[in-house]
Amino acid sequence: MRYEMTVNGKKVSVDAEPNAPLLWVLREQLKLTGPKFGCGMGQCGACMIMQDGKRAFSCQTTVERAAGHRITTVEGLNGRLGKTVKKAWLAERVPQCGYCQSGQIISAVDLLSNNKHPTREQIKDYMSTNLCRCGTYVRIVRAVERAAKEA
């Protein structure tokens, strides 16, 4: 079937089975490799994207449910807040292997979009949906705090 959606500000049309995970459409058809396959069960956050301005697991979102919506991947975070978070990520030297970082950045942008001045505990709680196998959690929290100050 053919589905239409807006991805990173551009209208796109894709052919896929209705229950195909959005993650595979993004990666295979649209060549957006920011969202990663981690667990496939919505538990690690490596595949995190934004749908209509709210974070979502692209491995658990079917292409049928994404049709007609605005999808943003880490590649499309080009607004002021997205740029601020990415800059803070580099300043705090968050990435180690980097595999989880696109999902972490999506979650940080979503958090700061809804809470401009989160406490450290709120940051830890909100970011807990994203796993980092390298254990850079302290740097992730510092990066979110820095972005909140600079946004």
- Which whole number is the average pLDDT over 100-113? 97
- Same domain for 70 and 84? no
Q: CATH no. for residue 45?
A: 3.10.20.30
What pTM does this model have?
0.95
Torsion over CA: 82, 83, 84, 88 (sign): positive
Question: Which domain, by its residues, includes 138?
Answer: 80-150
Q: How many domains does the chain have?
A: 2
- Same domain for 72 and 96? no
DSSP reduced 3-state for 121? helix
- Same domain for 95 and 72? no
- Same domain for 66 and 95? no
- Domain end, chosen from 30, 60, 76, is at 76
- Same domain for 35 and 50? yes
- Which whole number is the average pLDDT over 119-124? 98
The dihedral region occupied by 36, where left means phi > 0, alpha psi between -120 and 50, and beta the remainder, is beta
pLDDT interval class at 25 (50, 70, 90): very high
- Same domain for 52 and 87? no
- Same domain for 15 and 38? yes
